[in-house]
Amino acid sequence: MFEAMYAGAEAGGAEPPWDYGAPRPQFVEWAEAQDLSGGGRPALVIGCGYGADAEFLASLGFLTTAFDFAPTAIAGARRKHPDSQVNYLVADVLHLPREWQGVFDLVVESLTVQSMPPEQHPVAARNIAALVAPEGTLLVLATTREEDSEVKGPPWPLTRAELKEFVDGDLVMRRLERIEGGSWWRAELSRGRERPDASANQAASDP
């Protein structure tokens, strides 16, 4: 489906509905609040599409890798950013290279897992969590769904319980927010840092 949508866009059809055409504002807001600076550290963007989030990370000084399942998306990203320092690759979040495990100081997952069937969410979340380096950070952006609600996707917005599937050993939920009037989750997980403070639990319980 994803390859077909990107191929259609390349042939002059509609752009994929998730393509914002710029870095995701929920990501930019977080980065600015953190005064985020890469300093040459490795970062990874999951499901990068045409690369707007990846280019933003690279502009902050991260050594950025970005991948997408759709080869046409990756070809488009390379074409749109011909002088880019980002390493654009085709990969499948369900079958990621073993050598990526524990490598990236920052991993950004925005709307990718929710685009997959719900039965694939646990595996995708575990695979993504395994990419985070010691003392690294995982940022997850997703639209929200209540635990008892049903939805016919795609997409399949994430429940709070599904967000907790990204927690993996010493990768802990540092902060979980409902933003955009409660319609979006923004979750920040960190590996091997201090224990999460009460704000993570409070934010997760906000309506």
pLDDT in tens, 104-133: 999 999 999 999 999 999 999 999 999 999
Structural domain contains residue 129:
yes
Structural domain contains residue 20:
no
Structural domain contains residue 18:
no
Q: Is 147 exposed, middle or buried (0-12, 13-18, 19+ CB in 10 A)?
A: exposed
What six digits make up the tokens of 179?
A: 């933003």
Give the pLDDT confidence of 139-177 residue by residue, as tens digits.
Answer: 999 999 999 888 888 899 999 999 999 999 899 999 999
Rounded distance between C-alpha atoms, residue 15 and residue 59, angstroms: 24
Rounded distance between C-alpha atoms, residue 129 and residue 109, angstroms: 10
* Total domains in the fold of the chain: 1
Give the pLDDT confidence of 17-44 residue by residue, as tens digits.
Answer: 667 789 999 999 999 999 999 999 999 9
pLDDT of 198 over the 90 cut: no
Closest of 64, 113, 67, 124 to residue 90, by C-alpha: 67
Q: Is 113 exposed, middle or buried (0-12, 13-18, 19+ CB in 10 A)?
A: buried
Is 19:86 a contact under the CB 8 Å cutoff?
Answer: no
CATH number for position 170: 3.40.50.150
Range of the domain at 199: 2-13+25-205
pLDDT of 199 over the 70 cut: no
Q: What angle do CA 5, 140, 158 make, to 5 degrees?
A: 70
The predicted model scores a pTM of 0.89
Q: Is 81 exposed, middle or buried (0-12, 13-18, 19+ CB in 10 A)?
A: middle
Structural domain contains residue 175:
yes
Q: What integer pLDDT is reported at residue 45 of this predicted model?
A: 98
Q: Please give the C-alpha separations between residue 3 and each of 118, 142, 158, in angstroms, as whole numbers.
A: 20, 21, 23
Structural domain contains residue 109:
yes
* Other CB atoms within 10 Å distance of the CB of residue 167: 17
Structural domain contains residue 189:
yes
Structural domain contains residue 19:
no
Structural domain contains residue 116:
yes
